[in-house]
C-alpha cells in the first residue's frame, strides 16, 4: 500500500516537472571560438555542451564552433573521445573562447578491482572482467545474479523459478569444472561470503548500491583465495563517498512482470477427442483393454464439449415440465459439467506490478566521506489472487535495504571505514505442503513448492471441475447415481478427485519467509610512511548475522459440491463438503547463521625510475556458524595471502600470487595447502620500435598458470576424516524362552556406521590462461580474447569400484580424492566505440565457450563404453536413442524386443535403436544423449547510443549446445488416467490418418493406460530439447532533462532522467517454445513456475 501511494505521488511529481522543464526561458548570448589539440592542430567534431544541459554544438573541420547560451550560463564543456573533458568558465561574459584539448591519460589507466587491491587495467596479468553499476541498474530485476547475465563474458547461469523472492540465477564462472560444488566465491567489499550462504547477501543487494563487479576467472587472479578460489570469484564493490557537496539521488520505478512462456492446454472438446483416440488405439493394439469402453466419450458428450452446453436442445425439449423461457435459458446456459477450463490461465494472471525506489546520498569533506543508500523493492507474483473468504494467495517479495559507508580520516595517516548494510526481505506466497524430499514444508525444497502449485494443472483436466462458481469454491460435482454427471465422472475416471488447480492454490495456505541480514564491517588503514614510503597496514573485522523464519498460515476454507437443480436445471445447487473452520498457524524453519571475518595485512608499492614494484601480505580467517548444523561445528577457513608485482614502464609485467590456507574440513596435517600462481604480460605497442600509427594502437599479451583449491565437496557429509563410527541402539535380537505371546529378552544391537577416510583433502585445479588485448583505429575498436584450460584432480568421488566383499554398505564407503576432470574454452569480446558529432555510440559483443569432460570418476567398467560417465561432460544425460516412430505394421513386426515395457509396443510409438545389436532394448542401449542442461556457448550483443539528452541501450543474449529434458510428467498425457493434455500434443500427435496424410508429426501416439504402454516415456533423446536460443534480454531508453529554471530548479533538482527499460523482453522461437518453457530454466524438476519478463518505467532525480 505504501509503495502504491508513493508511486502515485512520484508520478504526479514527474509530470509536473516534465511540463515545467519545457517552459524554461532566459536571455541568450552567443559564444564561439576554436578548439585545437596538444600540438595546436584544429580538432573537428568536438562536442561543446552548455554545462548541465543538453544544448550542444560541434566544431567544424577547422575546429570552429558557435553556441547560443543563456546570459546566466557560467560553464561550457568540451568533449572528445580519448581526450580529457574540459570545462571552461564563461561567467565573465566573453564571447570568444579558444580551447586546447589534452589527451586523457587516465582513460588508458582504467582501473580494475582485483583480489585485495585495485590495479591499473594495463598492468593486469590475470583474466578479469568487470561490470559497472549502471549496467546492473539497467536490468530492473530483483537479483544481482540475474542482472549479471549478459553483462560479462564467462558468466552464465540458469534459473529454477520465476517466483518472486526465489527467482535468482545459479551462476557459474567459465562453466562447470567439477562434479563437486561449482559455486563461485563471492566477495562483497573485501569480505568473503560463506560458501553455505554464497549468494545470500549478494542477491539481496540493491543495484544502486553497487559501484562495480569484477569477475576473476583464472588462477592468477584467484590463487590468493586458495581452497576457495577454484570456481572463480565475483568481487562486488559498493559505492563510497567522494569529497564534495552532498549529492542526493532518488530513483523510482514502476514495472509490470508477466510470464515469458506459458504452456497452452487443450479445450475440453480436444481433450475428449484425444482421449477417445488414445483408448481406441490401445484397444486395437493390446489385449485386455476392452473394459476401457466405459471411458469413451460418446457423440453427445463431444457435442456438449464443443458447444459448451450441458444439454443438447433435444434433451432440453424433453424436459416437458420446464416453461418455454426456462427451456430457452437452459439452451443458452454455458456448461457446468461440460465446460472447458484453461488451468494455466486460472492459476496465473497476465501481469503483476513491481515497484522499486532508492534514495542515496553521498559526499564528504577532506576528513569524512559518506555514502548512504536506502532502497525498497516490491515484486508481486503472477499467481492469481482470488478474493475467496480470507484466503490470501497473492505472492510477493518485499525488501528494504540500507547501506551506509563512512570513511573517516582520524589522523593524516589513519583512516577508519565503517560500513553497515541491512537487508530485510519477506517472501510470501502459496504454502508448500507437498513433500518431495521427505520434509514437509521445507522452504528450500523448490520442487515441492511447485509441485504443490502445479500438480493439479498436470493431474487435472479442462473439464474436471470449475474453480469458483457463484462465490463457492468447488471441489467436485455432486453426482448422485443415475445423474448425467455421475455417468460423466465415470468416464473421466479421475484418480485425483474433482479438484482443480484453483482449489489447491486456495487451500495451500500462505507461506511467509522472513529473512533479515545485517552486515557490519570496520576497517582501519594506516600509512606507515614514517617507516617506508607507501607502506600501509590495515585490519578489518566484519560480522554478518542473518535470521529467517517460515510461517504457514492456513485458513480452513468452506468448499462445495455443485450440481444443477433437478427440477430447474437453470438453478445451481451447492452442497457444503467442508465447513469453514478455524485456521491454523504454523511456524517452521526458524534459522539463523552468522559469520565473523577478520583480516590484517600490509602492502607496499614503490617506483624506481621505470621499475614499479608492489608487495602484499595479509592474513585472514573466517568462521561461519549455523546453530542448526548437526555437528555443531562452525565451518572455518583461515590463511595467508602473498603477492609481489613488478612492471617495467607499463611494458613488461609479472606477478606472483600465493595463497596458503586451510579449512576445518580436513584433519590436522592435511588442512593447509599452498596455492601459487604466476603470470606475466607484455605490451609490444609500448615498445620504442613499434611504429606509432592510427590503425593498430594497442596490443597486450598475457599468460598465467596457477593452482587453486576447492574445499567444498558437494552435498556430502562433513568431516570424512573422523575415524569409523559404530552405532549403538541398532536393531537387536531376542534371547531366552518365549512364554505364550511374550518374547524373550531383547538385546539391542550395534553396527558399523560411517567409515572414515583420514586422507581426505581439497580438490585441486590447475589453470592455464592466455589472453590478448588489442585496440585498433585510434582505440575505437577494442578486442579481448582469452583461452583457458583447466584440469581438476582430487575431486571427492564415491568409489564405484570397491567390490562388495569389502563388506561396507555402499553409502558408507568413504569417498576419496580421485576424480579428474578438465575444462577448456575461450572468451572473445569485441567492441566498437565512437562518436559522430554529438552522437555517441558503441556496439560490442562477446562469446564464451566452455567444454568440460570427466577424465576419471572411479566408475566400474561398463559393458559398453557409451554406458559410463567417464569421458563425457559433467552432467551428461543418458538414455535411449530414438529413431522416429513406428509408422507402419511392417516396421513394428521387425522391431527388437523391448525389455522395459514387456515388449508392449505399437504403431505410433517411439522406435529405439538397439545399440549393442542383441535384439533387445535394455539398459545396455542407454548412451549419452544431448548436452547437459548448461549450455556450452553463450553470446551477448550490446549496443549503446547517446544523442543530446537521449540514451539507449540494448542487450541480446543467447546460448547454444545445451539441452532440456522434458520429463514424463510434462509429456505423458492423461497422467493417472485423467490428467491434462496439451495443445502441442494435439497438434503434433501421431495417428495413422495424420501419418497417411503426411501431416507434421512431432509427438508419438496418445497413450492412455500409463503402466503397460509407457514405451514412449523411457528416458530417451526424443525428449531432449535444445535450449539454443536468442533473447532480447534488456532494453533501455532514457531522456535527461535540461534543468535551468522552473519548479525543478526551485526544488534544487540538478538533473532529471526518465527512462523505460525491460528485462527478458522477447525470446525468439526455439525448441522449447511449444512447451511454454523459457530456455533459461533448469530442467531439474518437471513442475515449473514460469520465468518472468519485466517492463519498467522509472525516473532519477539528482539534487
Partner 1 sequence: MKHSRFITFIAVALISLTGCEKFFLEKPDTTGTVDINTIFSSEKNATALLMNTYRNVLLMDWPGGIGISHSTLGSISGEVGRGYDWHGSFIISNQGLSVNGCDGSENGAERYSANWRFIRACYILIENIDMVPDMDDTMKKYVKAEAKCLIAYRYMGMFYRYGGVPLVYKSYTSSDDMTTGRSSVQEVLDLIVRLCDEAYADLPDSWDAVNLGRLTKGVALAVKARALQYAARPLFNSATPYLDNGAANNLICFGNYDKERWKQAIDANLAVIEWANANGYQLLNTGGAGEGVPNPNAFDDYATATSVAGNPEVLLPYKCDEYTQGIHTYMLFTMFVPDSHWDTDDDGVLTNMLENYYAADGQDLDIPAVGEAARPGSDWVELIENIEPRAKADIKFCGFDSYNNPGDQNWQEVGWIRESGNMAIDRADAWPGSLDQSAGCGAPVKFWYKAGTRTWFELPLFRMSEFYLNLAEAYNEYDDPQNALKYLNYVHNRAGLPSITESGQTALRETIQREFYIEFFFEGGKRYYNSKHWKREDIDDGICGGQMRELQFSFRAGTQAPNTKDKIEWYWNANTFRSTWHPRMFLEPFPQSEINKGYIVQNPGY
- Rank residues 644 and 992 by Cβ distance to partner 1 and give the closer one: 644
Site for partner 1 in 854-893 (CB under 8 A): 860-863
DSSP state of 448: H
Q: Per residue in 807-843, is it b (16+ CB within 10 Å) or e — as a string?
A: eeeeeebbbbbbbbbbbbbbbbbebbbbbeebebebe
3-state class (DSSP) for residue 968: helix
Site for partner 1 in 667-706 (CB under 8 A): 671
Least Å from the CB of residue 740 to partner 1: 8
Taking CB under 8 A as the criterion, the residue among 108, 418, 537, 843 binding partner 1 is 537
Taking CB under 8 A as the criterion, the residue among 287, 314, 692, 805 binding partner 1 is 805
Strands in 635-737 per DSSP E: 635-648, 652-663, 672-682, 696-710, 726-735
Rounded-to-integer distance, Cα 774 and Cα 832, Å? 12
3-state class (DSSP) for residue 580: coil
Taking CB under 8 A as the criterion, the residue among 582, 807, 919, 998 binding partner 1 is 807
3-state class (DSSP) for residue 453: helix
Q: Give the interface segment with partner 1, choosing from 391-399, 542-550, 797-805, 881-889 (CB under 8 A).
A: 797-805
Phi-psi region of 363 (alpha: psi -120 to 50; beta: other; left: phi over 0): left
Per rule CB under 8 A, is residue 632 in the interface with partner 1? yes
Per rule CB under 8 A, is residue 741 in the interface with partner 1? yes
Taking CB under 8 A as the criterion, the residue among 631, 690, 839, 1066 binding partner 1 is 631
Per rule CB under 8 A, is residue 540 in the interface with partner 1? no
3-state class (DSSP) for residue 145: helix
Site for partner 1 in 336-395 (CB under 8 A): none
Taking CB under 8 A as the criterion, the residue among 232, 430, 634, 1079 binding partner 1 is 634
- Rank residues 255 and 662 by Cβ distance to partner 1 and give the closer one: 662
Least Å from the CB of residue 656 to partner 1: 19
Strand partners, 541: 522, 598
Least Å from the CB of residue 631 to partner 1: 5
- CA 624 from centre of chain: 25
Give the DSSP H or E segment for 158.
strand 155-159
Least Å from the CB of residue 241 to partner 1: 30
Least Å from the CB of residue 719 to partner 1: 5
CA distances in angstroms from 1052 to 26, 47, 249, 367, 1055, listed in the order given: 18, 27, 12, 26, 9
Taking CB under 8 A as the criterion, the residue among 663, 797, 971, 1092 binding partner 1 is 663
Taking CB under 8 A as the criterion, the residue among 585, 590, 734, 839 binding partner 1 is 734
* Residue 151 contacts residue 135 (beta carbons within 8 Å): yes
Choose among 646, 661, 582: nearest CA to 616.
Answer: 646
Least Å from the CB of residue 1070 to partner 1: 34
* Residue 105 contacts residue 97 (beta carbons within 8 Å): no
Per rule CB under 8 A, is residue 724 in the interface with partner 1? yes
Residues in the interface with partner 1 (CB under 8 A) total 77
Choose among 347, 547, 592, 550: nearest CA to 441.
Answer: 550
- Rank residues 634 and 1079 by Cβ distance to partner 1 and give the closer one: 634
Q: Give the interface segment with partner 1, choosing from 214-222, 460-468, 616-624, 958-966 (CB under 8 A).
A: 616-624
- CA 359 from centre of chain: 26
Taking CB under 8 A as the criterion, the residue among 248, 351, 621, 960 binding partner 1 is 621
Taking CB under 8 A as the criterion, the residue among 52, 70, 558, 619 binding partner 1 is 619
DSSP state of 204: T
Rounded-to-integer distance, Cα 340 and Cα 823, Å? 51
Least Å from the CB of residue 595 to partner 1: 11
Taking CB under 8 A as the criterion, the residue among 694, 809, 918, 999 binding partner 1 is 809
DSSP state of 478: -
Site for partner 1 in 1084-1103 (CB under 8 A): none
Least Å from the CB of residue 933 to partner 1: 23
Q: Give the interface segment with partner 1, choosing from 26-34, 799-807, 888-896, 1065-1073 (CB under 8 A).
A: 799-807
Least Å from the CB of residue 492 to partner 1: 25
- Rank residues 530 and 608 by Cβ distance to partner 1 and give the closer one: 530
Least Å from the CB of residue 540 to partner 1: 13
Per rule CB under 8 A, is residue 843 in the interface with partner 1? no
3-state class (DSSP) for residue 744: coil
Site for partner 1 in 897-916 (CB under 8 A): 899, 902
- Rank residues 34 and 521 by Cβ distance to partner 1 and give the closer one: 521
Choose among 360, 401, 396, 359: nearest CA to 379.
Answer: 396
The DSSP result for 1070-1082, as a single string, is: -TTGGGT--TTB-
Site for partner 1 in 299-338 (CB under 8 A): none
Q: Give the interface segment with partner 1, choosing from 89-97, 526-534, 683-691, 1047-1055 (CB under 8 A).
A: 526-534
- Rank residues 399 and 671 by Cβ distance to partner 1 and give the closer one: 671
- Residue whose C-alpha cell is 520442487: 447
Least Å from the CB of residue 970 to partner 1: 23
Taking CB under 8 A as the criterion, the residue among 190, 364, 659, 662 binding partner 1 is 662
Per rule CB under 8 A, is residue 293 in the interface with partner 1? no
Per rule CB under 8 A, is residue 531 in the interface with partner 1? yes
Q: What are phi and psi of 544, to 5 degrees?
A: -115, 140
Taking CB under 8 A as the criterion, the residue among 24, 351, 418, 528 binding partner 1 is 528
Least Å from the CB of residue 182 to partner 1: 24
Which long-range contacts does 36-44 make (Cβ < 8 Å, 24+ apart)? 36/63, 36/98, 36/99, 36/100, 36/101, 37/83, 37/100, 37/101, 37/103, 38/100, 38/101, 38/102, 38/103, 40/100, 43/80, 43/101
Site for partner 1 in 746-775 (CB under 8 A): 746-753, 755, 757
Taking CB under 8 A as the criterion, the residue among 1, 804, 993, 997 binding partner 1 is 804
Site for partner 1 in 565-604 (CB under 8 A): 600, 602
- Rank residues 414 and 532 by Cβ distance to partner 1 and give the closer one: 532
* Residue 329 contacts residue 569 (beta carbons within 8 Å): no
SS3 per-residue string spanning 50-99:
ECCCCCEEECCCCCEEEEEEECCCCEEEEECCCECCEEEECCCCCCECCE
Neighbours of 356 (CB within 10 A): 26
Site for partner 1 in 432-461 (CB under 8 A): none
Taking CB under 8 A as the criterion, the residue among 121, 623, 791, 904 binding partner 1 is 623
Least Å from the CB of residue 495 to partner 1: 17
The three grid cell numbers given for residue 189, joined into one nine-digit string: 567489499
DSSP state of 800: S
- Rank residues 225 and 939 by Cβ distance to partner 1 and give the closer one: 225
- Residue whose C-alpha cell is 445447487: 573
Rounded-to-integer distance, Cα 164 and Cα 243, Å? 39
Q: What are phi and psi of 1049, to 5 degrees?
A: -65, -40
- Rank residues 741 and 1000 by Cβ distance to partner 1 and give the closer one: 741
- Rank residues 329 and 968 by Cβ distance to partner 1 and give the closer one: 968
Choose among 533, 537, 512, 506: nearest CA to 524.
Answer: 537
* Residue 1090 contacts residue 348 (beta carbons within 8 Å): yes
- Rank residues 6 and 901 by Cβ distance to partner 1 and give the closer one: 901
- Rank residues 805 and 893 by Cβ distance to partner 1 and give the closer one: 805
DSSP state of 661: E
Rounded-to-integer distance, Cα 640 and Cα 619, Å? 4
Taking CB under 8 A as the criterion, the residue among 366, 411, 728, 997 binding partner 1 is 728
Amino acid at each position: 500500500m505504501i509503495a502504491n501511494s508513493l508511486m502515485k505521488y512520484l508520478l504526479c511529481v514527474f509530470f509536473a516537472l516534465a511540463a515545467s522543464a519545457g517552459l524554461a526561458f532566459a536571455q541568450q548570448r552567443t559564444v564561439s571560438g576554436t578548439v585545437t589539440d596538444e600540438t595546436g592542430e584544429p580538432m573537428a567534431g568536438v562536442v561543446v555542451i552548455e554545462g548541465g544541459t543538453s544544448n550542444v554544438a560541434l566544431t567544424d573541420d577547422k575546429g570552429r564552433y558557435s553556441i547560443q547560451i543563456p546570459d546566466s550560463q557560467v560553464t561550457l564543456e568540451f568533449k572528445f573521445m580519448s581526450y580529457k573533458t574540459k570545462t571552461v568558465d564563461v561567467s565573465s561574459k566573453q564571447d570568444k573562447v579558444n580551447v586546447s584539448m589534452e589527451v586523457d591519460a587516465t582513460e588508458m589507466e582504467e582501473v580494475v578491482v582485483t583480489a585485495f587491491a585495485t590495479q591499473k587495467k594495463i598492468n593486469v596479468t590475470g583474466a578479469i572482467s568487470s561490470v559497472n553499476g549502471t549496467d546492473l541498474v539497467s536490468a530492473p530485476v530483483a537479483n544481482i545474479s540475474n542482472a549479471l547475465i549478459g553483462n560479462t563474458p564467462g558468466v552464465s547461469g540458469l534459473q529454477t523459478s520465476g517466483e518472486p523472492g526465489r527467482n535468482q540465477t545459479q551462476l557459474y564462472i567459465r562453466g562447470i569444472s567439477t562434479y563437486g560444488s561449482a559455486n563461485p566465491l563471492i566477495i562483497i567489499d573485501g569480505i568473503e561470503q560463506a560458501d553455505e550462504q554464497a549468494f545470500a547477501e549478494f542477491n539481496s543487494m540493491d543495484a544502486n548500491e553497487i559501484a562495480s563487479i569484477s569477475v576473476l576467472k583464472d588462477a592468477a587472479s584467484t590463487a590468493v583465495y586458495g581452497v576457495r578460489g577454484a570456481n572463480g570469484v565475483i568481487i562486488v564493490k559498493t559505492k563510497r563517498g567522494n569529497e564534495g557537496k552532498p549529492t542526493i539521488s532518488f530513483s523510482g520505478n514502476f514495472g509490470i512482470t508477466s510470464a515469458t512462456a506459458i504452456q497452452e492446454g487443450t479445450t475440453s472438446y480436444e481433450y475428449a477427442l484425444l482421449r477417445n483416440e488414445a483408448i481406441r488405439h490401445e484397444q486395437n493394439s493390446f489385449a485386455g483393454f476392452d473394459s476401457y469402453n466405459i471411458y469413451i466419450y460418446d457423440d453427445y458428450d463431444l457435442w456438449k464439449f464443443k458447444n459448451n452446453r450441458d444439454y443438447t436442445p433435444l434433451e432440453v425439449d424433453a424436459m416437458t415440465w420446464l416453461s418455454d423461457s426456462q427451456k430457452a435459458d437452459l439452451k443458452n446456459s454455458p456448461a457446468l459439467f461440460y465446460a472447458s477450463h484453461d488451468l494455466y490461465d486460472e492459476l496465473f494472471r497476465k501481469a503483476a506490478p513491481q515497484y522499486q525506489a532508492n534514495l542515496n546520498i553521498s559526499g564528504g569533506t577532506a576528513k569524512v566521506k559518506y555514502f548512504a543508500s536506502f532502497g525498497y523493492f516490491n515484486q508481486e507474483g503472477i499467481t492469481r489472487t482470488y478474493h475467496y473468504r480470507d484466503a490470501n494467495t497473492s505472492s510477493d517479495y518485499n525488501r528494504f535495504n540500507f547501506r551506509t559507508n563512512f570513511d573517516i580520516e582520524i589522523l593524516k595517516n589513519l583512516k577508519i571505514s565503517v560500513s553497515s548494510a541491512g537487508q530485510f526481505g519477506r517472501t510470501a506466497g502459496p504454502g508448500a505442503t507437498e513433500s518431495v524430499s521427505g520434509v514437509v514444508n521445507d522452504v528450500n525444497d523448490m520442487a515441492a513448492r511447485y509441485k504443490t502449485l502445479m500438480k493439479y494443472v498436470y493431474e487435472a483436466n479442462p473439464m474436471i471441475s470449475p474453480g469458483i462458481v457463484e462465490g463457492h469454491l468447488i471441489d467436485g460435482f455432486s453426482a448422485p447415481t443415475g445423474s448425467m454427471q455421475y455417468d460423466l465422472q465415470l468416464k473421466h475416471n479421475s484418480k485425483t478427485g474433482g479438484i482443480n488447480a484453483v482449489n489447491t492454490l486456495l487451500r495451500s495456505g500462505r507461506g511467509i519467509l522472513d529473512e533479515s541480514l545485517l552486515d557490519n564491517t570496520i576497517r582501519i588503514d594506516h600509512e606507515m610512511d614514517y617507516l617506508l614510503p607507501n607502506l600501509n597496514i590495515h585490519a578489518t573485522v566484519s560480522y554478518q548475522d542473518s535470521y529467517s523464519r517460515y510461517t504457514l498460515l492456513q485458513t480452513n476454507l468452506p468448499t462445495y459440491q455443485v450440481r444443477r437443480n433437478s427440477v430447474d436445471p437453470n438453478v445451481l445447487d451447492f452442497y457444503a463438503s467442508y465447513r469453514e473452520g478455524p485456521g491454523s498457524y504454523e511456524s517452521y524453519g526458524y534459522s539463523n547463521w552468522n559469520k565473523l571475518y577478520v583480516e590484517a595485512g600490509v602492502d607496499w608499492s614503490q617506483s624506481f625510475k621505470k621499475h614499479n614494484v608492489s608487495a602484499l601480505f595479509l592474513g585472514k580467517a573466517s568462521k561461519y556458524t549455523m546453530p542448526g548444523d548437526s555437528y555443531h561445528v562452525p565451518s572455518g577457513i583461515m590463511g595467508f595471502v602473498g603477492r609481489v608485482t613488478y612492471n617495467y614502464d607499463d611494458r613488461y609485467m609479472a606477478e606472483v600470487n600465493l595463497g596458503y590456507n586451510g579449512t576445518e574440513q580436513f584433519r590436522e596435517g592435511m588442512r593447509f595447502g599452498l596455492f601459487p600462481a604466476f603470470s606475466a604480460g607484455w605490451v609490444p605497442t609500448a615498445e620504442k620500435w613499434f611504429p606509432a600509427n592510427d590503425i593498430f594502437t594497442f596490443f597486450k599479451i598475457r599468460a598465467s598458470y596457477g593452482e587453486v583449491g576447492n574445499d567444498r565437496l558437494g552435498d556430502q557429509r562433513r568431516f570424512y576424516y573422523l575415524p569409523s563410527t559404530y552405532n549403538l541402539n541398532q536393531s537387536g535380537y531376542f534371547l531366552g524362552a518365549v512364554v505364550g505371546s511374550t518374547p524373550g529378552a531383547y538385546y539391542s544391537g550395534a553396527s558399523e556406521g560411517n567409515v572414515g577416510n583420514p586422507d581426505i583433502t581439497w580438490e585441486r585445479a590447475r589453470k592455464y590462461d592466455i589472453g590478448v588485448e588489442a585496440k585498433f583505429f585510434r582505440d575505437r575498436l577494442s578486442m579481448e580474447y582469452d583461452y583457458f584450460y583447466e584440469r581438476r584432480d582430487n575431486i571427492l568421488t564415491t568409489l564405484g569400484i570397491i567390490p562388495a566383499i569389502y563388506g561396507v554398505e555402499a553409502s558408507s564407503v568413504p569417498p576419496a580424492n580421485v576424480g579428474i576432470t578438465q575444462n577448456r574454452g575461450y572468451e572473445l569480446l569485441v567492441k566498437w566505440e565512437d562518436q559522430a558529432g554529438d552522437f555517441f555510440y558503441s556496439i560490442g559483443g562477446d562469446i564464451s565457450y566452455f567444454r568440460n569432460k570427466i577424465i576419471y570418476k572411479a566408475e566400474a567398467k561398463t559393458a559398453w563404453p557409451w554406458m559410463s560417465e567417464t569421458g563425457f561432460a559433467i552432467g551428461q544425460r543418458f538414455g535411449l536413442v530414438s529413431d522416429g516412430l513406428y509408422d507402419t505394421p511392417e516396421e513394428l513386426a521387425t522391431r527388437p524386443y523391448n525389455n522395459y515395457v514387456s515388449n508392449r509396443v505399437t504403431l505410433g510409438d517411439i522406435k529405439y535403436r538397439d545399440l549393442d545389436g542383441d535384439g533387445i532394448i535394455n539398459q545396455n542401449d542407454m548412451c549419452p544423449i544431448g548436452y547437459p542442461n548448461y549450455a556450452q556457448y553463450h553470446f551477448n550483443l550490446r549496443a549503446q547510443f547517446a544523442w543530446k539528452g537521449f540514451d539507449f541501450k540494448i542487450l541480446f543474449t543467447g546460448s547454444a549446445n545445451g539441452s532440456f529434458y522434458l520429463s514424463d510428467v510434462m509429456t505423458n498425457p492423461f497422467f493417472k488416467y485423467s490428467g491434462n493434455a496439451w495443445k502441442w500434443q494435439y497438434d503434433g500427435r501421431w495417428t495413422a490418418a495424420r501419418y497417411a496424410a503426411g501431416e507434421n508429426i512431432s509427438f508419438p501416439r496418445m497413450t492412455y493406460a500409463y503402466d503397460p504402454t509407457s514405451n514412449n516415456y523411457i528416458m530417451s533423446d526424443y525428449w531432449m530439447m535444445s535450449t539454443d536460443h536468442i533473447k532480447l534480454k534488456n532494453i533501455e531508453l532514457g531522456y535527461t532533462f535540461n534543468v535551468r529554471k522552473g519548479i525543478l530548479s526551485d526544488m534544487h533538482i540538478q538533473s532529471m532522467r526518465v527512462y523505460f527499460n525491460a528485462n527478458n523482453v522477447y525470446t525468439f522461437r526455439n525448441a522449447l517454445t511449444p512447451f511454454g518453457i523459457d530456455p533459461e530454466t533448469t530442467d531439474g524438476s518437471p513442475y515449473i513456475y514460469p520465468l518472468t519478463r519485466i517492463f519498467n518505467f522509472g525516473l532519477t532525480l539528482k539534487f
